[in-house]
């Protein structure tokens, strides 16, 4: 059985990481049997090449990191059940949306509210700790990890932008997802595709979160996105 290493579950998602959630959703939609195991965060840099999750270990011991690489690996090894009949243009569209979500929407609609804004960070830290009374050691570890994330945020140029600019960009991403989905059953049409795992993951990590921020309410105001999430829940339980 495939083992998926993750952080911890919260609200309606299997993991607090959108990338781990994406892999879990992909394997669920594709019908792969898998189990999840919590990652020892003190060994994260030692256990994973990039010091990040997700990471899977296949039944033969093969370890693969990075959500997009993992999905590509699974499609190549076990058959591309979610890519049958996809045209080159559709494949290009899915890859472009995947890149937008991973490299843009994640930063402006997940990192900005959850890691940069202090009130949400305090709420997030308590979710991670599982208690309102965060132990001193865990707070020190969490604050150090937050510094690491925000350093990446600053180095990527995001930290130099105001929240107003960040959220304007985030709303544009939401508009783009909503406009492309339109009235389709799934993101690409009447059949689920691998991109649905990425789209659903980011929506769950925006709309369903317990944090307060601009883009959450904006995304929740899109009836077709909310209906899409409901269909995925009804069909796949995710």
Q: Return the structure tokens found at 156.
A: 């990527």
pLDDT tens profile 171-194: 999 999 999 999 999 999 999 999
Q: Return the structure tokens found at 180.
A: 């492309």
Give CA separation, 49 vs 36, 43, 53, 102, 181, in Å: 19, 11, 10, 18, 35
Q: Looking at the chain, which runs of residues are DSSP E strands?
A: 2-6, 34-38, 55-57, 63-65
Q: Return the structure tokens found at 24.
A: 């879990």
Q: What percentage of the chain exceeds 90 in pLDDT?
A: 87
Confidence of residue 53 (pLDDT cuts 50, 70, 90): confident
What pLDDT does 44 receive?
A: 72
- pTM across the whole model: 0.94
pLDDT tens profile 16-48: 999 999 999 999 999 999 999 988 777 777 777
CA 26, chain centre distance (Å): 11
Half-sphere exposure of 46 (CA within 13 A, CB side): 5
pLDDT tens profile 60-86: 999 999 999 999 999 999 999 898 889
What pLDDT does 49 receive?
A: 66
Q: In what order do the strands lie in the sheet with 2-6?
A: 34-38, 2-6, 55-57, 63-65
Strands 2-6 and 34-38: parallel
pLDDT tens profile 94-129: 999 999 999 999 999 999 999 999 999 999 999 988
Dihedral angle over CA of 9, 120, 163, 66, nearest 10: -20
Average pLDDT value for residue range 3-26: 96
């Amino acid at each position: 059985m495939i083992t998926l290493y993750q952080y911890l579950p919260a609200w309606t998602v299997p993991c607090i990481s959108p990338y781990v959630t994406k892999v879990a959703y992909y394997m669920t939609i594709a019908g792969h049997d898998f189990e999840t195991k919590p990652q020892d965060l003190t060994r994260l840099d030692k256990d994973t090449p990039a010091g990040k999750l997700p990471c899977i270990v296949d039944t033969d011991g093969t370890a693969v990191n990075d959500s997009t690489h993992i999905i590509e690996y699974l499609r190549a090894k076990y058959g591309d059940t979610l890519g049958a009949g996809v045209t080159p243009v559709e494949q290009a569209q899915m890859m472009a949306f995947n890149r937008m979500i991973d490299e843009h929407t994640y930063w402006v609609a997940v990192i900005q509210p959850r890691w940069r804004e202090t009130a949400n960070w305090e709420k997030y830290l308590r979710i991670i700790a599982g208690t309102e009374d965060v132990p001193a050691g865990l707070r020190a570890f969490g604050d150090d990890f937050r510094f690491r994330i925000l350093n990446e945020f600053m180095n990527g140029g995001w930290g130099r932008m105001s929240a107003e600019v960040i959220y304007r960009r985030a709303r544009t991403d939401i508009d783009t997802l909503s406009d492309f989905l339109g009235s389709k059953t799934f993101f690409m049409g009447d059949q689920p595709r691998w991109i649905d795992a990425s789209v659903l993951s980011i929506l769950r990590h925006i709309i369903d979160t317990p944090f307060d921020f601009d883009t959450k309410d904006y995304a929740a105001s899109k009836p077709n996105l909310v209906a899409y999430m409901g269909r995925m829940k009804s069909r796949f339980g995710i």
